[in-house]
């Protein structure tokens, strides 16, 4: 494969990451409409919103077997296409049970797509011979912000979510169709044994995934509680709380887009160690803050510090697994388990001792990211794969 084909493949996988993020942001922006349409309270909505995480965690361990059988390009194209189309399901649900079922399927397709596109990114990174995973996840963040912005405009215009998300699904699906052929056609060798239908991660991948678990916990805590913290603890208005969340999201996106250059200069271990320490410092600032500016600054430091951690966790797991898709699937399953733990843990501690104590736990876990950074060191087995590709080789 020549350098031109690799660059096209990198462009294609960047677009796929942005599409995945755009679906996420579009759905999130219309959750209030969906809640009103179904007619459920906060408890019912909370139950429904657990379904996507459950669907993802159940589906991710199967991704290795699916990719082995059909190839990385085919699985990425189909799963991302279905993920775009799945955007139409939640607003069509007329009641809570059907909403939960729709979101379970939505999450399962998202989980397979997440594994497939990250495996594509790992292989592209190996063949290019330089870090690209942070930038790919930066494109996901950009897609999320774009999807959320379009959703905000649609909501302000009073547009029915069925029309908005249906139209968005068609547009995103057409983009996915266009870039799919440019992805890498990664296939298992004929002598390579097929993985089990449901793959449990190896011990090494689990340890790498635990670093991701701590980072995702901090990210989920900041996303879910930033605006609430600004209002209840720092005395900010709802508008200032929303602005603080936007600043957190933008800081994380910027950190990811710039992260590859930092990784090239410092290496993955030093980058994650420094990022974890910066994020932990931000969480401690949140704990101490009693006014909007220091609280918002703390959340921005959390976003900047953890920006590159999950991309580097997936890259390390892709190298550590028997195949990139197996390694990514294992690390993603462990990391995204935070989606179950973080909301209840933060809320439970807050109900007993207050939100500042909850973010004390976040600070401890983010410090664990810094301490566990050594687990992301490239192994000797990876060294040959990190050399630059030979442009004239086919």
Which pair of tokens denotes residue 201?
Answer: 């991660």
pLDDT band at 379 (very low <50, low <70, confident <90, very high): low
Picking from 158-162, 245-249, 371-375, which range would have the lowest pLDDT averaged per residue? 245-249
Which residues, including other chains, have CB under 8 Å from residue 98's CB and lie 6 or more apart?
none
Which residues, including other chains, have CB under 8 Å from residue 32's CB and lie 6 or more apart?
155
Helical ranges in the chain per DSSP H: 3-29, 31-38, 42-59, 63-70, 72-85, 89-92, 96-128, 133-156, 161-179, 203-232, 238-266, 268-288, 292-306, 309-320, 324-336, 338-353, 355-371
pLDDT at residue 394, rounded to an integer? 34
pLDDT digits (tens, 9 = 90+) for 14-56: 999 999 999 988 888 888 898 889 998 867 887 887 888 889 8
Q: What percentage of the chain carries pLDDT values higher than 70?
A: 91
Distance between CA atoms of residues 203 and 356, nearest Å: 34
Mean pLDDT of the region 259-272: 94
Distance between CA atoms of residues 21 and 83, nearest Å: 11
pLDDT band at 88 (very low <50, low <70, confident <90, very high): very high
Which pair of tokens denotes residue 15?
Answer: 């677009």
Q: Is the pLDDT of residue 242 over 90?
A: no
Between 175 and 201, the more confident residue is 175
Domains and CATH numbers, the chain: 3-181 (1.20.1250.20), 203-376 (1.20.1250.20)
Picking from 111-125, 242-256, 299-313, 330-344, which range would have the lowest pLDDT averaged per residue? 330-344
Q: Is the pLDDT of residue 80 over 90?
A: yes
221: buried, middle or exposed (CB in 10 Å: 19+, 13-18, 0-12)? buried
- HEC-encoded secondary structure of 281-315: HHHHHHHHCCCHHHHHHHHHHHHHHHCCHHHHHHH
Q: Is the pLDDT of residue 158 over 60?
A: yes
Q: What percentage of the chain carries pLDDT values higher than 90?
A: 46
Q: Give the count of beta carbons closer than 10 Å to the beta carbon of residue 69.
A: 13
Signed CA dihedral, 251, 252, 253, 256: sign only: positive
pLDDT digits (tens, 9 = 90+) for 195-226: 555 556 778 889 999 999 999 999 888 887 88
pLDDT at residue 271, rounded to an integer? 96
What's the pTM? 0.79
């Amino acid at each position: 494969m020549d350098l031109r084909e690799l660059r096209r493949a990198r462009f294609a996988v960047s677009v796929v990451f942005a599409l995945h993020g755009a679906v996420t942001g579009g759905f999130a922006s219309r959750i209030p409409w969906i809640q009103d349409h179904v007619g459920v309270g906060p408890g019912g909505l909370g139950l429904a919103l657990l379904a996507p995480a459950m669907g993802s965690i159940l589906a991710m361990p199967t991704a290795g077997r699916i990719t082995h059988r059909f190839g990385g390009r085919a699985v990425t194209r189909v799963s991302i296409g279905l993920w775009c189309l799945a955007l139409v399901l939640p607003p069509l649900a007329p009641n809570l049970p059907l909403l939960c079922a729709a979101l379970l399927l939505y999450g399962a397709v998202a989980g397979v797509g997440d594994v497939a596109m990250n495996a594509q990114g790992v292989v592209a990174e190996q063949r290019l011979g330089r870090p690209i995973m942070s930038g790919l996840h930066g494109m996901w963040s950009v897609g999320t912000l774009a999807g959320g912005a379009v959703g905000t405009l649609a909501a302000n215009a009073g547009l029915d979510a069925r029309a908005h998300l249906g139209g968005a699904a068609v547009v995103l699906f057409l983009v996915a169709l266009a870039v799919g052929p440019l992805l890498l056609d990664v296939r298992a060798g004929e002598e390579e044994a097929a993985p089990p239908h449901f793959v449990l991660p190896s011990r090494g991948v689990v340890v790498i995934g635990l670093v991701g678990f701590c980072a995702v916990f901090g990210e989920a805590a900041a996303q879910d509680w930033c605006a609430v913290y600004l209002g209840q603890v720092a005395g900010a208005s709802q508008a200032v709380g929303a602005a603080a969340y936007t600043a957190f999201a933008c800081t994380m996106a910027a950190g990811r887009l710039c992260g590859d250059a930092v990784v090239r200069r410092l290496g993955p271990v030093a980058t994650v160690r420094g990022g974890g320490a910066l994020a932990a410092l931000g969480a401690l600032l949140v704990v101490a803050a009693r006014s909007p500016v220091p609280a918002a600054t703390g959340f921005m430091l959390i976003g900047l510090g953890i920006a590159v951690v999950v991309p580097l966790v997936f890259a390390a797991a892709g190298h550590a697994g028997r195949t990139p898709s197996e390694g990514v699937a294992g690390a993603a399953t462990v990391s995204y388990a935070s989606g179950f733990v973080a909301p209840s843990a933060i809320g439970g501690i807050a109900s007993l001792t207050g939100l500042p104590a909850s973010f004390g736990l976040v600070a401890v876990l983010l410090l664990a990211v810094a301490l566990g950074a050594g687990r992301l060191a490239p192994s000797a087995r990876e060294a040959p794969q990190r050399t630059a590709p030979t442009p004239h080789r086919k």
